Amino acid sequence: MDLAAVVIVPPAESSVAIPEIRSHEPEHASNFHSLASLLTPILGNDVLHAWIERIRKLGVPSLWLSSSGQENLACSTLQAFASQGIQRFLTIKLKSYAEMDLGDLLQFHRESRNTVTEVHDSQGQLGVRVFDHPSAASGNCEYCAPVDAEHAAYPFRGYSKRVLSARERQDLVGDVLIGGCAMRPLGKEVAEQVWVGEGAKIADSVRLIGPSYIGAHTEIRSGATIGPFASIERDCVVDYGTTVERSTLLPGTYLASGLLIRNALVDGRYLEDLNSGVIADLQPAGLTARATTRRRASSSPADARAWGLKASSSAAEWRQVQL
Amino acid sequence: MLRRKLRSALRISELPVIVDLSHCETLNRDDIELLLDCAAQSAGRDTPIVVVAGSPVTQVLLEVVRISSLIPVFSSVEEALGYTKTGGMSRVERNQNAVEYLK
């Protein structure tokens, strides 16, 4: 039976301007926009690419990337696939990092003989589903049907982490830094639990406290303190005397001198406080900016545009990727 | 104007100075420079300065520029007043002790 693999990529809102400064109560954090995104690198790693590599191991010739704000695939899209003879679908909503053997999942699906298999971990659905679509032509879409007794739950007991908020993203960073999962920081370990990417410049007086990560072509200037649990992604500049602790700087972020960045995610001009969920625009105060010392790397696959998708799109967009 | 008033208050007032930012949604570069200037001026003096940061964004900004570690920051004027009453008392007592010592 032919298999179609589809990865549903949420719009990368963090790369576009946030229209206003927001603040909100932490208990409602999940209802609000967050700077967290799996389209930005985690310690130099590309989570989307990691999922694609897992799909490649299944031996399918290509996969489809869909960039859409909508959670579900349209029935009409499935019918178009079905008309090409595809009767089995693997869909992955890019909202988690999970070290999953997709071959084992497909085998489970075949053996269970259910039309839909949904992957669950201890917290519930992970956004990974296999389903057969024998009746697409009749409009009876199994994918859109509600989860019921005919849906088999595939229990996943390996490492998984949802990344729907900046806090969850930082939790994943922490797990990687302490070796709590299979992902490794992309760089050379220059001291115990301190990784540095290619071409990074670190002044002699910088205090590096592990576990920490400094991405490729990032510059850390004199007197700065990095760590513990700091992740400075590629092409950033941390100016004189600034401290970054239990925080992440997304690629291409400049931090002015003398700042204290603690429990935060910073993306260019915006800072999200991990505890309160408050997003503050630091640019009017001259504290952050896009780093200009080096052109932002466009070749990294950790970017929706690099995969041929628009960075932000309200309408569904499809792209076939040859494996 | 505000800068002059604040500096003057810090120079001549024996009472704590409360800077109420509760109506400020955010801070710009000049605001932060002024607060850092005031913190420097009040350091080592008997006139303390405290800040009321109304909005969560302002609180975050004050932490990022380390003003929170230099000046006490509160989320309401009432909290700030409560702090300055207890803090102010101890300063008055210290001043009286100093006066008595000079006598």
Interface contact A284, partner B, CB < 8 A: yes
Q: Which of A91-105, A186-200, A210-224, B5-19 shows the lowest per-residue confidence on average (mean pLDDT)? A: B5-19
How near does any CA of chain B get to the CA of A246, in Å?
Answer: 14
Residues of B in contact with A284 (CB under 8 A): 26-29
Task: Determine the Cα angle at A315 with ends A131 and A75, to 5°.
Answer: 30
CB contact under 8 A, B65 and A287: yes
Same domain? A241 vs A318: no
pLDDT of residue A138: 47
CB contact under 8 A, B26 and A280: yes
Interface contact A21, partner B, CB < 8 A: yes
Q: What is the mean pLDDT of residues A270-281?
A: 95
Q: How confident is the prediction for chain B on average, in pLDDT?
A: 79
pLDDT band at residue A222 under the 50/70/90 scheme: very high
Examine the pLDDT at A318 and tell me if it is beyond 90: no
Interface contact B63, partner A, CB < 8 A: yes
Rounded CA gap, A182 and A101, in Å? 13
pLDDT band at residue B51 under the 50/70/90 scheme: very high
Same domain? A97 vs A139: yes
Here the contacts of A259-262 (C-beta below 8 Å, separation 24 or greater) are A259/A287, A259/B64, A259/B65, A259/B66, A260/B63, A260/B64, A260/B65, A260/B66, A260/B69, A261/B64, A262/B63
Q: How confident is the prediction for chain A on average, in pLDDT?
A: 82
Q: Is the pTM of this model over 0.80?
A: yes
CB contact under 8 A, A262 and B61: no
Examine the pLDDT at A232 and tell me if it is beyond 50: yes
DSSP state of A22: B
Which one of A58-72, A108-122, A184-198 scores highest in mean pLDDT?
A184-198
Interface contact B65, partner A, CB < 8 A: yes
What is the ipTM for the molecules in this complex?
0.80
Is residue A37, in this structure, part of any structural domain at all? no
Rounded CA gap, A303 and A251, in Å? 11
pLDDT of residue A302: 45
Q: Which of A282, A283, A288 to mutate: most B Cβ within 10 Å?
A: A282
Interface contact A286, partner B, CB < 8 A: yes
Number of H helices, E strands in chain A: 4, 26
Same domain? A247 vs A307: no
Q: Which of A94-108, A234-248, A275-289, B86-100 shows the lowest per-residue confidence on average (mean pLDDT)? A: B86-100
Q: Which of A174-178, A184-188, B21-25, B95-99 shows the lowest per-residue confidence on average (mean pLDDT)? A: B95-99
Q: Which residue has the higher pLDDT, A183 or A18?
A: A183
Within 10 angstroms of residue A26's Cβ, the number of other Cβ atoms is 14
Same domain? A47 vs A193: no
pLDDT of residue B89: 38
pLDDT band at residue A137 under the 50/70/90 scheme: very low
Q: What is the mean pLDDT of residues A14-34?
A: 41
CATH number at residue A59: 3.90.550
Provide the residue range defining the domain that includes A245: 166-290
CB contact under 8 A, B27 and A285: yes
Write out the DSSP string of chain B. -HHHHHHHHHHH-SS-EEEE-TT-S---HHHHHHHHHHHHHHTTSS--EEEE--SHHHHHHHHHTTGGGTS-EESSHHHHHHHHHHHHHHHHHHHHHHHHHH-
CB contact under 8 A, B69 and A282: no
Domains with residue ranges and CATH for chain B: 2-102 (3.30.750.24)
pLDDT of residue A17: 36
CB contact under 8 A, A258 and B66: yes
Is residue A23, in this structure, part of any structural domain at all? yes
Is residue A34, in this structure, part of any structural domain at all? no
pLDDT of residue A306: 58
Interface contact B69, partner A, CB < 8 A: yes
pLDDT of residue A80: 77
Same domain? A141 vs A280: no
Angle between helices B29-42 and B2-12 (to 10 degrees): 10
Same domain? A18 vs A104: yes
Question: Are the C-beta atoms of residues A298 and A306 closer than 8 Å to each other?
Answer: yes
Q: Which residue has the higher pLDDT, A79 or A19?
A: A79
Is residue A146, in this structure, part of any structural domain at all? yes
Is residue A296, in this structure, part of any structural domain at all? no
Same domain? A22 vs A158: yes
Total count of domains within chain A: 2
Q: What is the mean pLDDT of residues A220-225?
A: 98
CB contact under 8 A, B64 and A21: no
pLDDT of residue A83: 80
CATH number at residue A252: 2.160.10
Pairs of residues, one from chain A and one from chain B, whose beta carbons lie less than 8 Å apart? 55
A323, two tokens: 């494996």
